[in-house]
């Protein structure tokens, strides 16, 4: 599959790129700073751009078969970045006639199927206090994706960790069958599996250990 990865130089995005290449996909890695990608592979295309630039996003999406957004808030956060990135990605996909999108997000972004426990509600309150604007921006971007007519999947992750790929994880909804952490390598594995298989189209599961 030909796919473009936004946020390709991030903690999860790098794993997505590496695993996609290992699986035989052709990957366009959309990054602001190409030097942050040390991977070298004949099927890897580095595309320098900014997700706030609609024209660059559309150019990177043209000719692809699938889109992955592993974007996360920057430090310091750029106001409105996640919402504008979602808007630009959606526009680029519509213009290119591409419908398959997998977006990564935090488990703090809710879903109607969630049944949060006390600890989940507490963590959400702490997240609002510590990074309320970032959370609202992320939720705005997710809501744009949800309201689109694309074949989207929103993959929600709890606290992400480094470490080797386990190959085992749970897929469910917050509070009912979700844990508190997940390795980035396993997060990337689920993203790629879901992109191809489409088991959770127009759904937003939580993936965790």
Which of left, alpha, beta for 175 (phi over 0: left; psi -120 to 50: alpha)? left
Number of structural domains in the chain: 1
Spatial CA neighbour of 138 closest among 70, 185, 38? 70
Helix, strand or coil for residue 157? Answer: strand
Mean pLDDT check: name the lowest of 1-5, 51-55, 131-135. Answer: 131-135
Residue 191: phi, psi to the nearest 5?
-55, -45
The residue segments making up the domain with residue 43 are: 2-208
Per the model's pLDDT, the better-predicted residue between 126 and 99 turns out to be 99
Q: What pLDDT digit, counting tens, does each position of 14-45 carry?
A: 999 999 999 999 999 999 999 999 999 999 99
Residue 206 pairs in a beta bridge with: 156, 172
Domain of 27, CATH number, reads 3.40.50.720
- Please, which pLDDT band fits residue 124 given cuts at 50, 70 and 90? confident
Contact 60, 30 (CB under 8 A): yes
pLDDT of residue 54: 98
């Amino acid at each position: 599959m030909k796919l473009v990865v936004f946020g390709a130089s991030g903690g999860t995005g790098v794993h997505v790129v590496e695993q996609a290449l290992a699986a035989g996909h052709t990957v366009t890695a959309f990054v602001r700073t190409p030097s942050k990608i040390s991977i070298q592979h004949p099927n890897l295309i580095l595309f320098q751009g900014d997700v706030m630039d609609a024209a660059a996003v559309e150019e990177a999406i043209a000719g692809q078969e699938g889109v992955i957004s592993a974007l996360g808030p920057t430090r310091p956060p750029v106001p409105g970045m996640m919402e504008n990135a979602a808007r630009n990605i959606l526009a680029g996909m519509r213009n290119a006639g591409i419908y398959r999108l997998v977006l990564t997000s935090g488990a703090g972004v809710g879903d109607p199927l969630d049944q949060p426990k006390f600890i989940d509600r507490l963590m959400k309150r702490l997240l609002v206090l510590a990074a309320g604007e970032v959370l609202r921006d992320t939720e705005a971007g997710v809501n744009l994706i949800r309201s689109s007519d694309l074949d989207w999947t929103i993959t929600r992750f709890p606290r992400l960790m480094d470490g080797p790929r386990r190959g085992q994880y749970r897929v469910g909804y917050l509070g009912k069958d979700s844990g508190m952490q997940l390795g980035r390598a396993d997060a990337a594995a689920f993203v790629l599996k879901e992109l191809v298989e489409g088991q959770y189209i127009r759904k937003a599961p939580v993936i965790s250990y």
